Structure 1
Amino acid sequence: MASKTIVFKALAYILNDVGELLVIRHVDHPWTEVGLQVPGGTIRFGEKPSAAALREAMEETNLHDLQMVGLIGRTTYDVSPLRAEVQRRYFFQLAAPGARPRDWNSSEEHDGLRPPTRLRCLWIPLRNAHVLAAGHGALIHKLQ
């Protein structure tokens, strides 16, 4: 069996003023493949995990006034059988103060290196966060 690549990821639990969680849906992929997720992505070389969480959250949601609350914790997630990859994940809580739309279209541009990823952003009640896919809800119980 081939060894698995280790990838470091930062994920963002973003809460609005009424305690709802921001989730994203990949528009061009079926729910059965990707489900609902929270913003997040790969930590760049030399980048602090907290900076990566803020960057990824802003890139994926187009919200640029997010506030860092703090580190929630770390987990490990094996992506098999999709890829031979183990993700070391850092989860952060972010705040999105002020009035926000209920849902909106967004896209991640990937620094122009590949086609944009179309996303749909929406708020869900925190009690419904059990629907998150691919281990994204692993530390939801630790939110303040």
Structure 2
Amino acid sequence: MTDRNRVFTYITNGDHLLVFDHVDFPNAGTQIPGGTVERCETPEAAALREAREETGLGSLSIRSFIANETVDLTPFGKPETINGWFYHLQYDGERKDCWRHTEQTPGDGNLDPILFELYWISLEGTITLNGVDGRYLDQIREVLFKSGS
């Protein structure tokens, strides 16, 4: 049985991936935007909503659906199983090097806003993502470098 439904978004702009760090929780590791699917919300709508809420970016579109799978988060220090949807999103706006954004409506039962430091990293280099966030990183690379965009 899954504890909740979550989305994970690989947001790309050219050959760069958008990632973030928790400013107040540095041990949380580098992550990709994502979060809980709300009641009566489709995973696709949740992916776009969560990406906008966590990054403050507009000009986001879904490039592709990657996978839906049940994921045990116990090995990553969270005693839960989730139903996860993974999406590839495209950002067509201007790419800033680094910025901070506060998510005003975080999930997971946390009511306090969360400050993120967001930045773009080249998909050609080594990328270390926390938890299951890196699960489909190689697939994203393959799609982008094969298609040349």
Place the TM-score, normalised by the shorter chain, in its bin: 0.7 to 0.9
Q: Which runs of 5+ in 2 are unaligned?
A: 144-149
Distance 2:42 2:53 in 1: 16
Q: For 1:38-49, what aligned pairs fall within 5 Å after superposition?
A: 38-49=32-43
2:111 matched to 1:118?
Answer: no
Higher strand share: 1
Q: Which residue of 2 aligns with 1:92?
A: 87
Deviations along 1:51-76, whole A, 9 cap, x unmatched?
10100000000002211112011233
Give the direction of change, closer, same or farther, for the CA distance of 1:46–1:52 in structure 2 (3 Å limit). same
2:134 matched to 1:140?
Answer: no
2:102 matched to 1:107?
Answer: yes
What's the RMSD between the two structures over aligned residues? Answer: 1.8
Give 2:115's aligned amino acid. Answer: R
Q: Which residue of 1 aligns with 2:147?
A: none
Q: What's the secondary structure of 1:127's corresponding residue?
A: coil
- TM-score normalised over the length of structure 1: 0.86
Q: What's the secondary structure of 1:141's corresponding residue?
A: helix
Higher mean alpha-carbon deviation, 121-130 vs 6-15, is at 121-130
Quick check: 1:14–1:22 contact (8 Å CA) kept in 2? yes
Q: For 1:16-95, what aligned pairs fall within 5 Å after superposition?
A: 16=13, 18-30=14-26, 33-80=27-74, 82-95=77-90
Q: What's the secondary structure of 2:124's corresponding residue?
A: helix
1:131 to 113, 124, 128: 128
Quick check: 1:77–1:86 contact (8 Å CA) kept in 2? yes
Deviations along 1:80-122, whole A, 9 cap, x unmatched?
26332112211111111132211100011017x7111000000
- CA deviation after TM superposition for structure 1 residue 129, in Å: 5.9
Distance 1:129 1:58 in 2: 26
Distance 2:11 2:60 in 1: 8
- Show structure 1 runs of 4+ deviating over 3 A: 127-130
- CA deviation after TM superposition for structure 1 residue 5, in Å: 5.0
Between the two proteins, what is the percent identity of the paired residues?
Answer: 35
Q: Which runs of 5+ in 1 are unaligned?
A: none
- TM-score normalised over the length of structure 2: 0.84
Q: What's the secondary structure of 1:90's corresponding residue?
A: strand
- CA deviation after TM superposition for structure 1 residue 141, in Å: 1.9
- Count residues with an aligned counterpart: 137
